[in-house]
Amino acid sequence: MKHFSLLLALVAVTFPAFAQQGWLTDYERSGGVATPDYAHTLAYLERLDSASAWIDLQYFGVTPQGRRLPLVVLSKDGAFTPEEARRSGKEVVLIQSGIHAGEIDGKDASLMLLREIAITGSLSQLADEVIVLFMPIFNLDGHERISPYNRINQNGPEEMGWRVTAQNLNLNRDYMKADAPEMRAWLRTFNAWGVDMLVDCHVTDGIDFQYNATYAMEMHGNMAAPVAAWEKKLAAAFLPRMERAGDPLAPYVFPREERDLSKGLVDWASSPRLSTGYAAIRDRANLLIETHMLKPYRDRVTATYRLLIEVLRFMNENSGDLRDAIEEAEQEDIRRIAEADTASFPLRFRSVGQNRTISFRGYESSMRESPVAGNAYPVWDHDRPVTVDIPFYGDVRSVASVRLPRFYLIPQEWQSVVEILQLHGVALERLREPATLPVERSVFSDARWGNRPYEGRFTVQFSSAARTDTVDYPAGTWVVDLAQPAMRVAVNLLEPDAPDSFVYWGFFTAIFEQKEYFEEYVMAPIAEEMLERDPALRAAFDERLASDSTFAASPRARLQFFYERSPWFDTHLNVYPVGRLMQYRELPLRPWDDEYKK
């Protein structure tokens, strides 16, 4: 209590104006050890809204438990709608916190930052050239599942929210499939405002080290080159400034071997199911802030606060540069499709080797035997800080790619995937009359589902092979012309081999199910006739009998072999219904409109 009283006195002396007027946040009133619940957070936001003409408190959705999701718009020009923001010409940055509601550092940092910009004016220049959207609590239902025991690895706040939503979904795995109502609301907001940069505030688990915070930005092959170049300039600006402020940063990476840091650190390109990976395939700048779970809550919030300031400072000092980079990236994507550039498009990435050595600030560590666990676990000695040069495995390259089509054709019965594409801002049209088209389609084999659900779905792994078919498409078939700004997200959803494709997430699971079957007494004489007519088929059957004893011992499997090669077999089974039209041609198209909603 003595320490707490001294802290409040110090704050009142240092910031007399807002202390006397009651502008301390609940976090500050607690001495930097607690975070407010939704009601207290909302009350503070409502006061900011009432007190400042630069702030407008809005709501961008409703959670499954019925709570309104707050969105704070900060604009010196009063550009409080997407349309007004576009007319202003200013870049829009979205700062979100609490996607994992126990990792709430960004909320308390943002509340202080809003005050310093819009109330005290000490940082008012940070809003000169940008419009800032603050989502203080993205996973709001999880935020209200509050307990001191929600994050076993985390050092404060005193009580915190739960990692996932009321529907037990991890929002930071939901950016592509968009199962959660919160994510669908987020996507509508992201598209409506034309967000230029996403900043996502987290707290990391993992090894112990000296840094209060680490950071990541997508700068590998999953990010368009012009935007990646802008991000490198941003990092080059904030890294020395954070060092001078007393909060040096390290890249957000993982050790190659958890118990031996000397083996090096590994970088990666994030999957688009994650926040920064998603921003990358939307050609948008992004920053992941990962404070360190073992550091005191006050130190983590301070580090987040400082880094948010540096991001906004850079955007104000370089206003317009990011928007230019995004425009260049989108135009390059469109040009590539329009000019039939058939170079491969990367789908999956992996670190393939060391590309430099970095200086890393850690602690001396040792291994301690656990009689309970039956093995040893690492212990770090905070009295023995060390700075070591270690290998950095940051050579991240594409390990799987695809040749892009010009159009995707989606049969109209797969309306569920069309709705998700529209949520992502993908432009779609429809055939106004039937068309017969030569398309590539994927044929799947060896499909394998997980033995337990992952993020509410049973994901599927498979082998695939491309096949060219001539397909009769009726009027009403959905068409995605890839010559559009949302090209990258369309590819990552519609290409089945992409890590977060519709197929992977189970949107097309029904195509793997055989629905018609044979009676053995009907199939057996047909199989005998097929053998008599086709020597090549007999040779293939004999080879299978000789090489596969399980097959040879199963009468049903032996007859299935012939059924699959007969005209009675389902030609749609294991065939991806989305067609890939590789070359441009004039199609009888009409825009999607209300007529097709009926």
pLDDT tens digits for range 57-81: 999 999 999 999 999 999 999 999 9
Share of the chain above pLDDT 90, in %: 91
Instruction: With respect to residue 29, please indicate whether it lies within any of the assigned structural domains.
Output: no
Q: Looking at residue 596, what is its pLDDT?
A: 44
Give the chain's mean pLDDT: 94
Q: Looking at residue 123, what is its pLDDT?
A: 98
What's the whole-number mean pLDDT along residues 406-425? 97
At residue 128, does pLDDT exceed 90?
yes
pLDDT confidence band for 261 (50 / 70 / 90): confident
For residue 189, the enclosing domain spans: 53-78+85-338
Least confident of 281-285, 362-366, 487-491, 548-552: 362-366
HEC string of 453-518 equals CECCECCEEEEEEEEEEEEEECCCCEEEECCCCCHHHHHHHHCCCCCCCCCCCCCCHHHHCCCCCC
Looking at the DSSP bridge assignments, the partners of residue 472 are: 436
Do residue 414 and residue 547 come from a single domain?
no
What's the whole-number mean pLDDT along residues 107-115? 98
At residue 1, does pLDDT exceed 60?
no
Q: Looking at residue 64, what is its pLDDT?
A: 98
At residue 136, does pLDDT exceed 50?
yes
Q: Which two tokens stand for residue 443?
A: 């044929």
Q: Looking at residue 21, what is its pLDDT?
A: 67
Q: Looking at residue 253, what is its pLDDT?
A: 84
Total domains in the fold of the chain: 4
Do residue 462 and residue 386 come from a single domain?
no
pLDDT confidence band for 578 (50 / 70 / 90): very high
Do residue 476 and residue 545 come from a single domain?
no
Q: Looking at residue 10, what is its pLDDT?
A: 42
* Strand pairing category for 68-74 and 460-473: unpaired
3-state SS, residue 29? helix
Query: What whole-number distance in Å separates Cα of residue 186 and Cα of residue 138?
Result: 9
Do residue 295 and residue 389 come from a single domain?
no
pLDDT confidence band for 340 (50 / 70 / 90): confident
Q: Looking at residue 4, what is its pLDDT?
A: 41
Do residue 293 and residue 421 come from a single domain?
no
Q: Against a cut of 0.75, is the pTM above it?
A: yes
What's the whole-number mean pLDDT along residues 191-195? 98
Do residue 274 and residue 317 come from a single domain?
yes
Instruction: Classify each residue of 389-405 as buried b or exposed e, where b means 16 or more C-beta atoms within 10 Å of its C-beta.
Output: ebbbbbebebeeebebb
Q: Looking at residue 342, what is its pLDDT?
A: 66
What's the whole-number mean pLDDT along residues 270-284? 98
Element (H, E) at 351: strand 344-351
Q: Which two tokens stand for residue 166?
A: 């009321």
At residue 534, does pLDDT exceed 90?
yes
- CA–CA distance from 33 to each of 36, 140, 148, 301 (Å)? 10, 20, 12, 10
What's the whole-number mean pLDDT along residues 189-212? 96
3-state SS, residue 265? strand
What's the whole-number mean pLDDT along residues 286-298? 98
The residue whose two tokens read 């041609």 is 585
What's the whole-number mean pLDDT along residues 462-476? 97
Q: Looking at residue 421, what is its pLDDT?
A: 98
Do residue 478 and residue 557 come from a single domain?
no
Instruction: With respect to residue 144, please indicate whether it lies within any of the assigned structural domains.
Output: yes
Among the three residues 295, 318, 338, which one is the final residue of a domain in this structure? 338
Instruction: With respect to residue 427, please indicate whether it lies within any of the assigned structural domains.
Output: yes
CB-count burial class (<10 Å; 0-12, 13-18, 19+) for 140: buried
Do residue 113 and residue 148 come from a single domain?
yes
Do residue 206 and residue 325 come from a single domain?
yes
What's the whole-number mean pLDDT along residues 205-227? 95
Instruction: Classify each residue of 454-490 as buried b or exposed e, where b means 16 or more C-beta atoms within 10 Å of its C-beta.
Output: ebbbebbebebeeeeeebebeebbbbbbbbbbbbbbb
Please provide residue 311's backbone torsions phi and psi, each rounded to the nearest 5 degrees: -65, -50
Q: Looking at residue 2, what is its pLDDT?
A: 36
pLDDT confidence band for 20 (50 / 70 / 90): very low
Do residue 462 and residue 500 come from a single domain?
yes
Instruction: With respect to residue 330, please indicate whether it lies within any of the assigned structural domains.
Output: yes
Q: What is the DSSP annotation of 406-443?
A: SEEEE-TT-HHHHHHHHHTT---EEESS-EEEEEEEEE
At residue 572, does pLDDT exceed 80?
yes
DSSP state of 595: G
Instruction: With respect to residue 4, please indicate whether it lies within any of the assigned structural domains.
Output: no
What's the whole-number mean pLDDT along residues 305-313? 98
Q: Looking at residue 257, what is its pLDDT?
A: 83
Cα end-to-end span (Å), the chain: 65
Query: What whole-number distance in Å separates Cα of residue 182 and Cα of residue 169?
Result: 10
At residue 11, does pLDDT exceed 70?
no
Instruction: With respect to residue 5, please indicate whether it lies within any of the assigned structural domains.
Output: no
Instruction: With respect to residue 39, please indicate whether it lies within any of the assigned structural domains.
Output: no
What's the whole-number mean pLDDT along residues 457-482? 97
